[in-house]
Copies of this chain bind each other. A is one copy, B any other.
């Protein structure tokens, strides 16, 4: 254990602590000869500067808090990886705050900002509202958001065009011949949810198709919510032929419900999700979904946040609108003829 302090090094090298500090921080105004002596002492004593003392004095912790709805969900894990890797390459560490999808826990973690455990915080969660996040910034904290757009000049954010996502998916389903397309939303008040719903409606409008409120239901962005939501939807609309789930997790729940109801995907019902989590490629039938550059969003935003914290100025490029891409797979590849849809015999 490196128990030695800077004063020990100073004594050994026969200089003052100030000089040792200068050598450590390469401020460059130490004579070469002295520097050598100090470095040797550091080496010999295996000295490492105490980060806590350093933090206190410099008022920076070199740590970023990452509040994430559920670290186990691969969509989030991939974003977090992007954050961690970028942070690390910029000499920052990240403190993971798994909110377990609970707002109370998210708010709890805000104390890390307040007590200066972290220099800034990134929110990767649909739970916290924009308003609450803006309040933090107004209080003087550095925060950033992934997955949605926030209209505030001091909040960097990375997100995809959710309206476009909704529109792309539903237009695709319409092209496939579907007329009764359900939308399975996440939390009703999450931007992801209502923006995708907006896209859904826009696609219908463009195609001259009616909006049927019964075809909308909402879940919680989790598999179980998708499962229950589909059961409700199907109960109300026996004739629906396609489901657009606001994310892949819920689409998995739809698969489960379909299996129990002996409904074939995609023969009876087409399913499309969003996020392109890894599992979508492995499941049968493979799930059509929308790719979002998760790792990239995490990395870009982290770079931006750190830059902003260090320079204390809010550059021009405050947000990153990244491109999404519809991936058509088996779950929505069965062309359906209009007006002649019916349940074919299983198989």
**Is A95 positioned at the interface, with any CB of B under 8 Å from its CB?**
yes
- Distance to closest chain B CB from A71 (angstroms): 5
Is the pair A48, B115 in contact by a Cβ cutoff of 8 Å? yes
**Is A117 positioned at the interface, with any CB of B under 8 Å from its CB?**
yes
Q: Give the docked Cα–Cα distance between A63 and B98 (Å).
A: 15
Q: Give the docked Cα–Cα distance between A78 and B111 (Å).
A: 25
Is the pair B84, A116 in contact by a Cβ cutoff of 8 Å? no
Is the pair A88, B98 in contact by a Cβ cutoff of 8 Å? yes
Interface string of A105-146 (1 = CB under 8 A from B): 000000110111100000000000000000000011100000
Q: Give the docked Cα–Cα distance between A55 and B284 (Å).
A: 52
Interface string of A62-94 (1 = CB under 8 A from B): 010000001110100110110011001000011
Query: In the complex this chain forms, how many copies of it are found?
Result: 2
- Distance to closest chain B CB from A43 (angstroms): 14
Q: Give the docked Cα–Cα distance between A51 and B71 (Å).
A: 25
Residues of B within 8 A of A141 (CB): 1
Is the pair A77, B71 in contact by a Cβ cutoff of 8 Å? yes
Q: Give the docked Cα–Cα distance between A252 and B63 (Å).
A: 36
Out of B3, B70, B115, name the residue touching A49 (CB < 8 Å): B115
**Is A283 positioned at the interface, with any CB of B under 8 Å from its CB?**
yes
- A interface, size bucket: 35 or more
**Is A322 positioned at the interface, with any CB of B under 8 Å from its CB?**
no
- Distance to closest chain B CB from A275 (angstroms): 14
Is the pair A2, B48 in contact by a Cβ cutoff of 8 Å? no
CB within 8 Å for A1 and B140 given contacts A55-B52, A93-B117: yes
Is the pair B77, A74 in contact by a Cβ cutoff of 8 Å? yes
Is the pair A114, B2 in contact by a Cβ cutoff of 8 Å? yes
Is the pair B56, A85 in contact by a Cβ cutoff of 8 Å? no
Closest residue of B by beta carbon distance from A76: B77
CB within 8 Å for A1 and B74 given contacts A115-B51, A283-B282: no
Interface string of A281-324 (1 = CB under 8 A from B): 01110000000000000000000000000000000000000000
Is the pair A74, B74 in contact by a Cβ cutoff of 8 Å? yes
Out of B49, B70, B139, B284, name the residue touching A1 (CB < 8 Å): B139
From 132 to 162 in chain A, residues with beta carbon under 8 angstroms from any chain B beta carbon are 139-141
Is the pair A81, B56 in contact by a Cβ cutoff of 8 Å? no
A to B CB contacts below 8 Å, 9 in the list: A51-B115, A51-B117, A52-B56, A52-B59, A52-B116, A56-B56, A71-B77, A72-B81, A74-B77
**Additional A-B contact list (14), CB under 8 Å, known A77-B77, A282-B282:** A49-B115, A52-B55, A63-B95, A71-B71, A71-B81, A72-B74, A74-B77, A81-B98, A85-B100, A93-B117, A95-B95, A95-B96, A283-B283, A284-B284
Q: Which 10 A-B pairs have the closest CB atoms?
A: A1-B140, A284-B284, A51-B115, A52-B56, A282-B283, A52-B55, A51-B117, A48-B114, A84-B98, A96-B96
Interface residues of A (CB under 8 A from B): 1-3, 48-53, 55-56, 59, 61, 63, 70-72, 74, 77-78, 80-81, 84-85, 88, 93-98, 100, 111-112, 114-117, 139-141, 252, 278-279, 282-284
